[in-house]
Amino acid sequence: MQALEQKILDEGIVLSDQVLKVDAFLNHQIDPVLMQQIGQEFARRFKNTGITKIITIEASGIAPAVMAGLELGVPVIFARKYQSLTLKDDLYRSKVFSFTKQTESTIAISRKHLAAHDRALVIDDFLANGQAALGLADLIHQANAEVIGIGIVIEKSFQPGRQLLLDQGYRVESLARIESLAEGLVTFVKE
């Protein structure tokens, strides 16, 4: 997606050869016009697939997921990063190893928002090792609902997440695919 790639080049900050900071438009300040375009692009790629719900994870998945939900006309559920204080029996839970925090945490969604007939689209801001996406897919499977695909705003294609998800049979649609962050430079996969 050209506008997204240009925004990454203009405003992304390469923190290391593994991590890109996009606080200027996605992870802290949010660019609503770009988010709308992102929502439209996800909707274009997943139109006619019968999606009934979008599932994402707080906080940074919410903006692109809501825009996609608006375009596709379906509700958006964001998994909460679960705390024992809110322990309840009516939750689906999954463990996720966080790439940025390097710790394991539990994510959860309420059982009442997902049903066995749902056809779910997973959306997240970044794809690195695939653990967040797999955790979200696990929540969907616990509800006996179907994962129709995984939509990613920024994929770091040099990390193993994409292949892991493809190997498990998921359709992966990434709007920007980064080939390398080496030497402080962002380069994209040529498609």
Alpha helices in the chain (DSSP H): 2-11, 32-46, 62-72, 131-142, 161-167
Q: Which one of 14-22, 44-52, 84-92, 113-121 is the stretch in contact with ligand 5GP (CB under 6 A)? A: 14-22
The pair phi, psi for residue 57, each rounded to 5°, is -135, 140
Minimum CB–partner distance for residue 115 and ligand 5GP (Å): 25
Q: Give the separation between CA 137 and CA 125, rounded to whole angstroms.
A: 15
Q: Is residue 64 a contact point for ligand 5GP (CB under 6 A)?
A: no
| DSSP secondary structure code for residue 17 in this structure | S
CB of 24 to ligand 5GP, least distance (A): 11
Q: Is 99 in the site for ligand 5GP (CB under 6 A)?
A: yes
* Residue 131 lies near ligand 5GP (rule: CB under 6 A): yes
> CB of 87: closest distance to ligand 5GP in angstroms?
23
CB of 4 to ligand 5GP, least distance (A): 14
Coil, helix or strand for 10? helix
